[in-house]
Amino acid sequence: MTFAGLSAFPITPMTADGCVQADALGRVLERLRRPELTSVGLLGSTGTFAYLSRAERRRAVAVAVEVLGGSVPLMVGVGALRTDEASALARDAAEAGADALLLPAVSYTPLTQEEAYEHYRAVAAATDLPLCIYNNPGTTHFTFQIGLLQRLAELPRIAAVKMPLPATGTVAVDLATLRGTLPAGFAIGYSGDWGCADALLAGADTWYSVIGGLLPDIALRLAAAATVGDRAETQRLDASLAPLWALFRAHGSLRVIHVMAQQMGLSDGLLPLPLRPLGATIRDQIAAATEALAE
């Protein structure tokens, strides 16, 4: 497992009451049997991990292991409120055949930096798999201070961090700060599809991509161009995706990507309640933005 290149994050088609639709998940994952992908990130935020029971998460991992068949490394999200639950999910993923773990700092009572450290230390020790820190303050409302990231990066098996786009300043400055403080070889990647072209051009190791989980071809082309420093081609491809990026930012990438999967005939799964589907006007805008990519 290498934390580099394009990591594709698929949806988890499910019923409104949280049951995984195995056939639909299989169809989504079949599109990701691509050796150019460096990993598939199952059960991330795009995969609505927080709405699934432990049994349904195990079911999703089993489907992914069977469909991918080792063609692409599988990274599984194991976020949970309690440390014992997250550790159990980590062991489930390892026993099922996952190649790496992704752990967000899920909380209800806000975590202290020390509480988060002990949480990550315990979950990392639960298996022999490498673990990526999922830094997602927009959802978890927890902010990793640099000192905490430094401590975590020194722990066995914690090998990477999935960063959000910076709230202020440029991703290049943010990446340079992290490179200057974290150990050499510790992988730094970004999510937030609309800013990841800049992140890759600045030298980030990984693009953790929502669009890559559904449209891997264009995401792979963008990642390949950025990785070799072809700024003109990277910006051209990024511009072609700009209408989708605008919809992601306005309505949430999770809602938009579910509509795209439905429009492509891959899934009739529902967003878990209380999340509500997008209206007809927005769905038409999503269809137009997706169709434009094929022109």
Hey, which residues are catalytic here? 134, 162
Q: Are 163 and 195 in contact (CB under 8 A)?
A: no
Q: Are 160 and 205 in contact (CB under 8 A)?
A: yes
Could you tell me whether strands 158-163 and 187-190 are parallel, antiparallel, or unpaired per DSSP bridges? Answer: parallel
- CA 42 – CA 75 distance, rounded (Å): 6
> Percent helix, strand, coil in the chain (nearest 5)?
50, 15, 40
CA neighbours closer than 13 Å in the CB half-sphere of residue 176: 7
Query: How large is the greatest C-alpha to C-alpha distance in the chain, in angstroms?
Result: 51
